[in-house]
Amino acid sequence: MAVQRDNNPADQEIRLVHPNDIQIKPVHASKLLGLTGRTIKAIEEDHQLDIERVNQGAVSARIYRPSDLFDIVAVRRERGQLKGLPEPAIVSTYVQKGGTGKTTVSVNLGISLALQGLRVLMIDNDPQGDTSTMLGYDPDLTPEELAELGIDPDRGITAHLGNLIPLGSMFQRMTLEEVIKKPFGENGPHLIPADDSLNEMDIALRAANGADFRYSLFLDKAINGDIPGCDLSQYDVIIIDNAPSSSMLATNSMLAADMIICPIRMDKFSVKALTRLQRRMLEIEEDFNRSAAVVAVPTMFIRNRPRAQANLATVSEAFRGQVSNALLYHSEDYIKSLEEGIPLYFWRSASENSQGALRDFGKEIHQRLIALMDDED
């Protein structure tokens, strides 16, 4: 359903799709799960999973929802066919430059890791709420306003990370169940959403004791199950998506992270962007004795363009081991899937050039996380 934005002439309609209304054909489901149709069918029958069927002429065919795929993944994890990480990992996506596909990378990485068997929590740490929007929630309209438009009021956002982290009396304290969203059902990635009131949290952080470490302290305790009403111990990976700014929100996210993912375009600014990030990470290590693995992912990459190839070679040489092998290629699929309100990972019209690259990237990050958390164990 399209939501009208009368106060923003440049953005009059935004497509707000319930994530679990997405329909996935069996051949696409097989590709996403990395399983044959026969194996998927056997899992469904063994565990009595109720898969929707639609009539196609004289026969009926299975149609999957994203929650169906995550239910199948949960069965495989229960069987021991898929495993979690050696230790829970915190991943922060950050680059001090807009237009690099940061939120797209964050959301589709979360989906990819969950389809590989990890239990994923996504935290929208950007007051603009782009991650929340991409997952089907509206950061601008109240639940009452959505209801008037005939949209499920649960698509609205009434709480965010500030309602979980104790920072004085600025935000009402809530439990995780009161804040969290589950766009793809219980077994899919979960979300702590955001709206523009998260801006006030930046102010609260600046006034707090140990301002730079409030996320880190909170997440450490919550992952250990030491915070009543906010137990994060069930998650293998927590992905924090940040605004492209040097706010206290972003600083806290980086100081809490085990891995920082930096989406960059292969243009003349890519080396500068990574150099700034590397300089910032060295400052953090010197000032706070904290370090995180950095992975730069080339986005909007154009094949056979000499300048892009040359920039990639320069960046890869300058930042050895810190550039992903998977490249996210330039494609109109990203814009078109956004216009339809569907994450590219599930968009059935996506080409293998774009969707396959996202799968390769998700698998690479999974392996990097396993190696990283093995080293920390």
Does 218 reside within a domain? yes
Looking at the fold, whether 111 and 240 belong to one and the same domain comes out as: yes
Maximum alpha-carbon separation in the chain: 69
> Rounded to two decimals, what is the model's pTM?
0.92
Beta strands in the chain (DSSP E): 2-4, 13-15, 52-56, 59-63, 89-93, 120-125, 190-192, 237-242, 259-265, 293-299
Q: Is residue 91 part of a domain?
A: yes
Question: How much is the average pLDDT of 41-63?
Answer: 86
Q: Which pLDDT score is estimated for 377?
A: 61
Nearest to 112 by CA among 333, 275, 375, 346: 346
In a domain, 32, yes or no: yes
Give the pLDDT score at 342: 92
Among 103-107, 271-275, 372-376, name the most confident range. 103-107
Please determine, for residue 278, whether its predicted confidence score (pLDDT) is greater than 80: no
**Mean pLDDT over the full length of the chain:** 88
**Per-residue confidence band for 15, with pLDDT thresholds at 50, 70 and 90:** low
Task: Look at residues 66, 82, 98 and tell me which one is the last residue of a structural domain.
Answer: 82
Are 199 and 59 in a shared domain?
A: no
Which CATH number goes with the domain that contains 51? 1.10.1660.10
Closest CA to 232 of 194, 176, 167, 186: 176
Q: Is the pLDDT of residue 208 over 70?
A: yes
Model pLDDT, residue 44 = 93
The reply to whether 294 and 204 lie within a common domain is: yes
> What is the average per-residue pLDDT within 255-260?
94
In this structure, the answer to whether residues 167 and 291 fall within a common structural domain is yes
Strands of 94-216 (E only): list them: 120-125, 190-192
Read off the pLDDT of each residue in 317-341 and give the average, rounded to a whole number: 89
Q: Is residue 5 part of a domain?
A: no
Print the domain residue range for 349: 84-376
Q: Looking at the structure, tell me whether residues 47 and 137 fall in a common domain.
A: no
Considering the chain, what percentage of its residues have pLDDT values greater than 70?
Answer: 94
179 in the same domain as 52: no
Q: Let me know whether 298 and 239 are in one domain.
A: yes
Q: Which residues contact 38 (CB under 8 A, 6 or more apart)?
A: none
pLDDT at residue 121 is higher than 60 = yes
Is residue 7 a part of any domain in this protein? no
pLDDT given at position 142: 87
Q: What is the reported pLDDT for 224?
A: 95
| Confidence check: pLDDT of 4 > 50 | no
Residue at which a domain ends, from 82, 111, 127: 82
Residues 315 and 195 in one domain: yes
Residues 141 and 272 in one domain: yes
The region of weakest confidence among 52-61, 147-156, 356-365 is: 52-61
At 30, the pLDDT band (50, 70, 90 cuts) reads: very high
What pLDDT sits at residue 69?
A: 97
46-55, 286-295, 302-311 — most confident range: 46-55
Buried b (16+ CB within 10 A) or exposed e, 3-42: beeeeeeeeeebebbbbbebebeeebbbebbebeeeebee
Shared domain check, 69 and 106 = no
Region 248-273: what's the mean pLDDT? Answer: 86
| Share in percent of the chain as helix, strand, coil (round to 5) | 45, 15, 40
Number of domains within the chain: 2
Task: Specify the pLDDT at position 270.
Answer: 65
Statement to judge: residues 55 and 28 lie in one domain: yes
- The answer to whether residue 347 sits within a structural domain is yes
Does 8 map to a domain?
A: no
Residue 273 pLDDT exceeds 80:
no
Which residues are within 8 A (CB) of 48 and not within 5 positions of it... i.e. 6 or more apart? none
* Residue 176 located in a structural domain: yes
Band of residue 8 on the pLDDT scale cut at 50, 70, 90: very low
**Are residue 34 and residue 94 in the same domain, yes or no?**
no
Q: What is the pLDDT of residues 59-115, one digit of tens each?
A: 788 899 999 999 999 999 999 999 999 999 999 998 877 777 889 999 999 999 999
For residues 287 and 336, the model is more confident at 336
Domain boundary among 82, 100, 127: 82
Q: What is the pLDDT of residues 317-328, one digit of tens each?
A: 878 888 999 999
HSE (side-chain half, CA atoms, 13 Å) at 143: 7
